[in-house]
A and B are shown apart, each in its own frame.
Chain A
Amino acid sequence: MSGHNESILREPLITGDNITYAKITDDILGPVENKPNKAWWIGFIFASLGALLWVVAVSYTFWNGIGAWGLNKTVGWAWDITGFVWWVGIGHAGTLISAVLLLFRQNWRNSINRSAEAMTIFAVICAATYVVSHMGRPWLAYWVLPLPNQFGSLWVNFNSPLVWDMFAISTYFSVSLLFWYTGLLPDIATIRDRAVGTRRKIYSIFSFGWSGSVKTWQRFEAVSLILAGISTPLVLSVHTIVSMDFATSVIPGWHTTIFPPYFVAGAIFSGFAMVLTLLLVARKVLGLENYITMFHIESMNKIIILTGSIVGVAYLTEFFIAWYSGSEYEQYAFINRSTGPYWWAYWMMMTCNVISPQLLWFKKIRLSIRATWILSIVVNIGMWFERFVIIVTSLHRDYIPSSWAMFYPTWVDVSVFVGSIGLFFTLFLLFLRVLPSIAIAEVKLLLKSASEQAKMKQIKEGHENKEYVAEYIESLEKFDSVKQEDYAKI
């Protein structure tokens, strides 16, 4: 995009010296063009076993009926919708990174958007499986679509949040897929150009005849912006609508107007955590330290602190409003959350989502790959519990005390959830093998302006303010991919 020099104060987005366009292509296409290493195989075997478990558990459910799950007359949704909301939430980071950060010209997104978008798509697939499998008669799932039918004037209920959900999720999935694929086109073309034989033919078909002409690039940029524009409202709308499944109901603990912003913040929170979980491993295993740098990690951690704090405030607000409402049902629902039979789930949620992300205020923790990785998993555990708390503890003790009941999961509940994680990782690991995990073309854009070597050149040219240079060098200390001794001389 720009050949001009960037301010020396900005931290580099690509580290390492002797990075060339060719090296970028080689580095990123390494996993795609070579045989998988042992780590991949181990991961893939585990993931596909998980996916197999998912197939078994879902088939078992379809064969026998939803009774295979632990649900009952009082708690009609539990692990199923918890899993659904959890996966949809995780998907949100991808869209936020690809669309919102693009519109805000946050160039650091270029290294992570591809994987994040892939994650979005796979997460939405996992969520969609729940939409179908939680139904009593899944073979009739298409009835929630407003299709012309032979039943006469029978139509869907446009008042039902589940119908809104269906629109929201299907729109979200199709736009995300389109956006992701559009971004992939130049990279697929790159693979095509380097491949031979059948691979070349296949990638040729999938590259849609990308020619790399100026006109193509120009249109590519335009389409990306348009799609970013379309996706941006989806970041807010999808989880808003998911939250309305609860907010428009009459159940104490669900019937809450704070849900839309609270759910969106929670979704971004969990999504970034999942991006970190995936990329910290991918970065190491695939040797992408120069492209996904400590700067990226720290930036994502900062977003996690922000969204985690929003979520924390939302939790407290809910409590305040429950007390302030004067409604005994509302008050009981929240007292029951924190002190009732599921108190442990509530405090699990509080610890994982509100307390643990605050640790990221410490720079040391924020910059520790190990701590970040652990916290990213803790956050997603917490976010799973958040949905569990909202769904199960609100339902299990609602208005009429005679119907109060406990929910206990069965092996099928657990298997469907664990299996969906397996399915997700299977898809993600396959993705790493066939498509570039980092947007090659977009990273190349940064090489001349925002890379460490470009900045080094700037410093060597000697036009930069010494103080700024010193500050810049100081900021490099956190980078594990920067050879600090190169700067000791300056």
Chain B
Amino acid sequence: MESNKKYWKGLEEYNNTPDFVKNNKNEFAEPLPIEDVLNEAGLSTVTPRRDFLKALGFGLGAVTLAACQTAPIHKSIPYLVKPEEVTPGIPNYYTSSFNGQSILVKTREGRPIKIEPNPNAGEFFRGTDARAQASVLDLYDVSKLKAPLLKNEETTWAKLDGFVKTELTKAQASGKKIRIVSSTVNSPSTNAVLAQFIAKYPAAKLVQYDAVSYTGIIQANQNSFGKAVLPKYNFDSADLILSFGADFLGTWISGEEFTAQYSKNRSYKSLESKKMSRHIHFESGMSLTGSNADTRVPVKLSEEGPALIALYNAVTGQSLPGGTLGNNTTADKVIKLAAKELLQNKGKALVVCGSNDVSTQILVNAINAAIGSYGTTIDLDNPCYLYAGNDAEFNGLVAEMSRGEVGAVLFLNSNPAYDYIDAKKFEAALKSVPAKISFADRADETASLCDAVAINHNYLESWGDANAYEGYYSIVQPTINPVFNSRQAEESLLVWADAPVKDYYQFVRSNWETKMLPALGLKWNDVLEKGVISIAPKAATAYTFTQSVAPVAASILNRSKSLAKDIELQVYENIPMRDGKNANNAFLQELPDPVSKVTWDNYVAIAPKYAETLKVKEFDVVTVKAANGYSIDLPVLIQPGQARGTASIALGYGRTKVGKAGNDVGKNAFPFVSFINGTMQYATSVTITPTGGYYELAQTQTHHSFEGRAVIKEATFKEYLKDPAAGNEKGEHKDYDLWDQYEKPGNNWVMAIDLNACTGCGSCVVACNVENNIPVVGRDEVRRRREMHWIRIDRYYSYETPEGDVTKEKEIANLEDLDHVSVVHQPMLCQHCDHAPCETVCPVLATVHSSDGLNHMAYNRCVGTRYCANNCPYKVRRFNWFNYWNDSRFDNYLNNEFTQLVLNPDVTARSRGVMEKCSMCIQRIQGGKLKAKLEKRPLKDGDIKMACQEACSANAIVFGDSNDPNSEVSKALRSERIYYVLEEINVKPGIGYMTKIRNTDTKVQA
């Protein structure tokens, strides 16, 4: 068909008139007066009124419309010049160290977003603790200073250096002392820097001051064996562990490492080889370690000394006076039997004590020597350098300062204005120091009293190294350029010392390259790659204890007597907050205490029966007053297992100048610490009076007994040896099924959780938070029971009676003896049920099952009816009640663009009104599959690890493919101990739990 028809627009075109031909060349039919307007004359003509109004109208309209919407500003980094090692979407891992532990830092597009354990770190560094996991958030903390301060004004480094150098020179010249107050320094490079600094300023000296001190053990070793060190403890070599108040799985020295050692003898693998260690624990407050003990005996703080004397007497057959336990018959009985067991386990036993009293630790040394621990379970030849603080030295410094003998003081990683036992005295003493310099990253309690704050890098921005144990070195390397105008403290010291090399990177590198690497035949890059260098340890030798213990025992008894009045108060570190240095970390504030499940506060823990005597109820506010006059008002928490006559308060709270999240959370308990016999003592006596107030603590769990339900299955080791399925007897039943069976080709992802290995420490909770962008909701929301954690640790108490364990709330209410508590910790997360009750009820199919056994959650499809959460028997689904990450009412940390950089870009940040829950780290599963695919190989067992699993030191979580019969998880799931929580309702959960085994069947049953 003819398609090139010609349409004409008018008769002129049709006729092709001359006029048309002429005008057709022009774009406009009539000529526009452009030239007229643009030439001089045009511009000078008078604008007609109508033209003016037209222009005005258009102009105004256009401007108005343009102003209606702000053009969104998208900040992005164009990789026009792509950094060699950065590929968008692919994470990079760098080795570094956190508190002496070697770690891997995951970075995405140049942002550190996750901490993982370094697989090269060694057998017992396979996990990370909650602090390490949460530490990435500190990098993005907006409460930090953005520039150095001089006299509380922002300044430049040049001005600050000028000031500091002048002051230091002045101090040096005046003949006064210069003191560097630091928490323990175990970094060889830092020590080298300090040496250069001291060379320049000979009046300078390092004073090591740890907020929570281990001076007692160090000095006891000096006294007993002439070695002023912390020993290396080998819990893995101990078949019998006796602990007197040492929370070695939690906060004592190196909790994660000890957890790994401890679980080696208690996990499913150990049980399969018919081996399980035995753990007897004496303590006042219920600690994480106590909650894991096979036999736990509550003793008062004043009874701890006599108990040790009694044990010493029983072990050595001597009869030191004072080894009587008065009314505590249980403790008395257990001590006698434990002594027998210790003697049976000579060389395979270990006694540890959490006390910081030198005499007490000397007595412990004597006991350990008597049972042959040295050279086996205690290694004094490869000591631990994690803590080297000297209490007396710092105490002396405060006195020197107040006498005006100190010309300049520098605070490195220390904050005595908060954590010294008498902050007022310290502040007064500080006033007499002419030059005060802090390296804090924020204007904290001490820094705000200083003349200059030379803000230090976060460790993720720093170079450095650490030496946690003799011969064990790890590297610290930066993973991001400094975010603010900060400078590494070591570099500042080098600048002030006018050192030849001021660049700290060069300094660290040359320090390694000259002092360590040549001997090992290694290169600098090897260190960076491996992250840790381990020189073959020396052989541990046995030590004999030769001193007389009589004077020691006398000192212990004196201390015990002075404690035994009023209410004995124990101040302790809890797992989330530790010494309070990380108090502004919202992840840690919201991590529930592993035992009490309290978040965002500290409290006075009192035993249930003792609270009745004191006539206080849970959450009553009481005034706790010490003999030194210090008093605080805190709410009461009823803590089963707490020794009667004692109370416990956690340290690390009550910070006032740490930042938005941590300020005024709880009350400061450091002033309850007292300096006695040359060391800090964490026990004191106080009076408690109710104020009549009421303060509800934010707990993530408020019901504490498991009501005899098959949710928890337990057996004793003896029963287990007879029948591995003990406690897990399966009755006869027939399964009926409403649903079609689907094949799971490829993978079927499942998990096994060993209740015997899990200590309940909670590092998995924080690891999951960081990995999956889980919002922190704050104290009020936790009180409303709205915390968002995808994995939680359920902690249940049951009470031991002669008739068996009592687990039901109503029966517990009638019990007289609430002192003998056994505890079980159960990690609970989405069970990825094959017959998931949540999936059938969702009206919009927002939660569905995948062919690889996972229960998916499509956030974008969710309309938020919450039916799935109601119908979840495990109550693991979490609802976004508000827009937590972008709502000023929940401004704990994430409501600013800077902190949002911590978010994992592989995981969607969920909006308000959407349900969420454990996804089995689906981003990790996909990542692992993709990696295998790119490498053209099948996925193999262990390629994919869950965030919780990777953080777990105890190896309690095993994840993998049940379609592979040889996978670790398939093997674990074949254990006779495996049971599925609520399997009787036939939801076919995908996570198998292993029964809790307690090694209680010796005669030492409490």
Question: How far is B874's CA from A250's CA once the two chains are assembled, in angstroms?
Answer: 11
Residue pair A134, B865 in contact (C-beta under 8 Å): yes
Q: Is A400 an interface residue (CB 8 A)?
A: yes
Residue pair B913, A66 in contact (C-beta under 8 Å): yes
Residue pair B709, A73 in contact (C-beta under 8 Å): no
Mark contacts of A132-156 with chain B using CB atoms, 8 A cut-off: 1 yes-contact digit, 0 otherwise.
0011111011011000000000111
Among B311-319, B495-503, B779-787, the stretch in contact with A? B779-787
Residue pair B702, A135 in contact (C-beta under 8 Å): no
> Residue on B with the closest CB to A165?
B843
Mark contacts of B197-215 with chain A using CB atoms, 8 A cut-off: 1 yes-contact digit, 0 otherwise.
0000000000000000000
Q: Is B862 an interface residue (CB 8 A)?
A: yes
* Number of chain B interface residues as a range: 35 or more
Question: How far is B890's CA from A64's CA once the two chains are assembled, in angstroms?
Answer: 12
Q: Is A182 an interface residue (CB 8 A)?
A: no
Residue pair B882, A77 in contact (C-beta under 8 Å): no
Tell me, rounded to whole Å, the shortest Cβ–Cβ distance linking A159 to chain B. Answer: 5
Q: Is B571 an interface residue (CB 8 A)?
A: no
Q: Which residues from chain B contact A66 at a C-beta distance below 8 Å?
A: 864, 866, 879, 881, 913
Given A76-B869, A249-B871, A401-B703, the answer on whether A136 and B843 have CB atoms closer than 8 Å is: no
Residue pair B914, A73 in contact (C-beta under 8 Å): no
Question: How far is B565's CA from A71's CA once the two chains are assembled, in angstroms?
Answer: 46
Given A66-B881, A141-B863, A162-B867, the answer on whether A402 and B703 have CB atoms closer than 8 Å is: yes
Mark contacts of B906-941 with chain A using CB atoms, 8 A cut-off: 1 yes-contact digit, 0 otherwise.
000001111100000000000000000000000000
Q: Which residues from chain A contact B875 at a C-beta distance below 8 Å?
A: 73-74, 398-400, 403
Residue pair B707, A249 in contact (C-beta under 8 Å): no
Q: Which residues from chain B contact A406 at a C-beta distance below 8 Å?
A: 702
Residue pair B828, A143 in contact (C-beta under 8 Å): no
Q: Which residues from chain B contact A305 at a C-beta distance below 8 Å?
A: none
Q: Which residues from chain A contact B912 at a C-beta distance below 8 Å?
A: 65, 67, 136-137
Residue pair B869, A399 in contact (C-beta under 8 Å): no
Question: How far is B875's CA from A72's CA once the two chains are assembled, in angstroms?
Answer: 11
Q: Is B822 an interface residue (CB 8 A)?
A: no
Given A137-B913, A154-B861, the answer on whether A73 and B869 have CB atoms closer than 8 Å is: yes
Q: Is B845 an interface residue (CB 8 A)?
A: yes
Q: Is B698 an interface residue (CB 8 A)?
A: no
Mark contacts of B863-890 with chain A using CB atoms, 8 A cut-off: 1 yes-contact digit, 0 otherwise.
1111101110111011111110000000
Residue pair B701, A157 in contact (C-beta under 8 Å): no
Given A137-B914, A398-B875, the answer on whether A250 and B795 have CB atoms closer than 8 Å is: no
Q: Which residues from chain A contact B878 at a C-beta distance below 8 Å?
A: 73
Q: Which residues from chain B contact A245 at a C-beta distance below 8 Å?
A: 867
Q: Is A166 an interface residue (CB 8 A)?
A: yes
Q: Is B375 an interface residue (CB 8 A)?
A: no
Residue pair A136, B873 in contact (C-beta under 8 Å): no
Q: Is A477 an interface residue (CB 8 A)?
A: no
Question: How far is B837's CA from A85's CA once the two chains are assembled, in angstroms?
Answer: 22
Q: Which residues from chain A contact B725 at a C-beta distance below 8 Å?
A: none
Residue pair B841, A404 in contact (C-beta under 8 Å): no
Residue pair B845, A157 in contact (C-beta under 8 Å): yes
Residue pair A67, B840 in contact (C-beta under 8 Å): no
Tell me, rounded to whole Å, the shortest Cβ–Cβ distance linking B194 to chain A. Answer: 49
Q: Which residues from chain A contact B879 at a C-beta distance below 8 Å?
A: 66, 71, 73, 76, 136
Partner of A251, one of B707, B708, B861, B871: B871
Q: Is A358 an interface residue (CB 8 A)?
A: no
Q: Which residues from chain B contact A140 at a C-beta distance below 8 Å?
A: 863
Q: Is A368 an interface residue (CB 8 A)?
A: no
Question: How far is B837's CA from A76's CA once the two chains are assembled, in angstroms?
Answer: 15
Residue pair B828, A400 in contact (C-beta under 8 Å): yes
Given A73-B785, A401-B706, the answer on whether A160 and B842 have CB atoms closer than 8 Å is: yes
Residue pair A135, B863 in contact (C-beta under 8 Å): yes
Tell me, rounded to whole Å, the shortest Cβ–Cβ distance linking A322 to chain B. Answer: 15
Q: Is B479 an interface residue (CB 8 A)?
A: no
Residue pair B844, A144 in contact (C-beta under 8 Å): yes
Residues of chain B from 820 to 846 with CB closer than 8 A to chain A in the complex:
826, 828, 837, 840-845
Q: Is A258 an interface residue (CB 8 A)?
A: no
Q: Is A405 an interface residue (CB 8 A)?
A: yes
Mark contacts of B649-668 with chain A using CB atoms, 8 A cut-off: 1 yes-contact digit, 0 otherwise.
00000000000000000000
Residues of chain A from 100 to 156 with CB closer than 8 A to chain B in the complex:
134-138, 140-141, 143-144, 154-156
Residue pair B913, A401 in contact (C-beta under 8 Å): no
Q: Is A248 an interface residue (CB 8 A)?
A: yes
Residue pair B844, A137 in contact (C-beta under 8 Å): no
Question: How far is B795's CA from A41's CA once the two chains are assembled, in angstroms?
Answer: 59
Q: Is A70 an interface residue (CB 8 A)?
A: yes
Q: Is A328 an interface residue (CB 8 A)?
A: yes
Q: Is A161 an interface residue (CB 8 A)?
A: yes
Tell me, rounded to whole Å, the shortest Cβ–Cβ distance linking A250 to chain B. Answer: 5
Instruction: List 21 A-B residue pairs with CB atoms under 8 Å apart, sorted by A's residue number.
Output: A66-B881, A67-B882, A67-B912, A73-B869, A73-B878, A76-B869, A76-B879, A135-B864, A137-B862, A144-B863, A157-B843, A160-B841, A162-B842, A166-B843, A249-B841, A328-B708, A328-B709, A399-B709, A399-B874, A400-B794, A403-B875
Binding site for B on A (CB under 8 A): 64-67, 70-74, 76-77, 134-138, 140-141, 143-144, 154-157, 159-163, 166, 245, 248-251, 328-329, 332, 395, 397-406
| Additional A-B contact list (9), CB under 8 Å, known A137-B914, A249-B871, A328-B708 | A65-B912, A141-B863, A154-B861, A157-B843, A251-B871, A395-B870, A398-B875, A402-B701, A402-B796
**Across chains A and B, which 3 residue pairs bring their CB atoms closest together, nearest first?**
A136-B864, A136-B913, A67-B881
